[in-house]
Structure 1
Amino acid sequence: MASVLGLLEAREKKVREKIARLRAALGEAEGVLQRLVDARATVAEVLAEPPSLVREPQPGPVAGSMVPHRTDGMAASVLAPDYQRIVSVLESEAGREGMRCQQLATALGLQVVPAKVEGLRSKAKRLVERGWARQARPGVFTALVMPAG
């Protein structure tokens, strides 16, 4: 038969193990709570800051860069140089009635070969899609708004 002291020692050992497990769980819960408190403080700090009134400087246009969608007041200077040249020709007197891509290639001083013409067609269509030019009729491109003159 087991002694009463032996039974008490076994019971004490089980209780101590349970206390150790509970302390470990409590430590994990306290860590989670501290991360939540820190996150809430960071969010409150960010929300309390006034929005920045200083804009980051925008890099200049880069050859081969994407064509941004045109918004009111946006100048053609935000376009890559190739696109600026196309818009400039379309806004000129020669482009007033609209230009086919072969004519556009000639006006830009490019060789009128299929590769150059198709490249211009792709760029002109992209300018139309993004609001920088318009397609007067199939294959004929003009400036979006003709300058006064």
Structure 2
Amino acid sequence: MSAPDPGAWLLSRIDAREAALTGEAEQTRSLINDLTARLRELDEALDHLRITRKTLLSLADEPDATTAAPPAELPGHPVYQQILAIFADVAQPMRARDLCLALDLPIVAKNIENVRSKLKRLVSKGVLVESEPGLFAQPRP
């Protein structure tokens, strides 16, 4: 009987190991290709988000022509200028009666109603706001 050839046995082990490593290398290459494709998709999604952010920020920085209302035209009577000057000085909400006092008008119903009417007109033009019934103030920016 002849003894098994140690060289053949060693070569068969090397062949088996080579086949196993070749299969593992092919699986790894396939996995790398899949991961590379996924990485490309993620990079593209990130690029889209960056573009969206940049676009939104640039739109936020632009003045909006539709919401920027032209300055309201005030009625021509000088009392309107006096009323606005008082609101600018006081910088707090006021009632028609308080405004009569500030304008040095006698506190009578006729004067209070006239001032209230003027205040309501300024509210309708967007120059003043009525925060609660009878309480008028300049709008906050």
**TM-score interval (norm. to shorter):** 0.3 to 0.5
Larger Rg: 2
